[in-house]
Chain A
């Protein structure tokens, strides 16, 4: 079945540590996105990529990094520079910037 797979479902970060969230899609979509969701704040765009080897900062990119070496994959690294990383992270993909399809999310918490 086609879809978007995020892993892990739960992730814990120690202070000063970088962690990487995985996002893989087999929908053959060109565009991929990372959103952060905090209670009461809706979804905020971190990074997006419209094509392989290219990506743009979203509204809250500071403390995060991404890569897009393959069409199917768009991993997100939460660096130690992100001082408040606890949130629910959602990856999405689309053919263009329309009709986003979402993964099931990763809950990141700080130890």
Chain B
């Protein structure tokens, strides 16, 4: 079945760029997503990219997709303490459901 993998933890200094990486297995994925979860809250859709795109930029967020390697990344420019959260990579594809990674905890050091 489909699988989404991402690293568990990333620590960056305030003002630096953060890059969170993700790999997925479903070659028929149509959309790939990045969600943000703050403590005790639900998931917030940050951004998404259609599978026929290579890049999408939205203010401080840049999503890069390498479809050949099934690799997705999220870059956050000028990372702020308010960006500290868990970031989930997800994909929707051929099985009519959305599959999530385990989540990467981003710690921003002031």
Contacts and interface: CB of A to CB of B under 8 A. Distances in A.
Interface of A: 4, 6, 33, 35, 40-43, 45, 48, 50, 58, 90, 92, 94, 96-105, 107
B53 interface: no
B43 A90 contact: yes
Nearest to A4: B42
B97 interface: yes
Contacts of B24: none
B45 interface: yes
Contacts of B42: 4, 6, 90, 102-105
Interface residues of B, number: 22
Contacts of B31: 98-99
A78 B13 CA distance: 42
Contact of B97 (A45, A102, A104, A107): A45
Contacts of B92: 97-98
B48 to A, nearest CB: 6
B45 to A, nearest CB: 6
Contacts of A43: 43, 88, 100
Contacts of B98: 33, 94, 97-98, 100
Interface string B93-106: 00011101111000
Contact of A42 (B33, B96, B97, B103): B103
| Max chain A C-beta neighbours (<10 A), residue from B30, B48, B96 | B96
| Max chain B C-beta neighbours (<10 A), residue from A4, A33, A40, A43 | A43
Given A97-B92, A98-B30, A99-B31, A42 B44 contact: no
Nearest to B94: A97
B41 A42 contact: no
Given A33-B97, A97-B92, A98-B92, 8 more contacts: A4-B42, A41-B102, A43-B100, A45-B97, A50-B96, A100-B43, A101-B45, A107-B40
Contacts of A101: 45
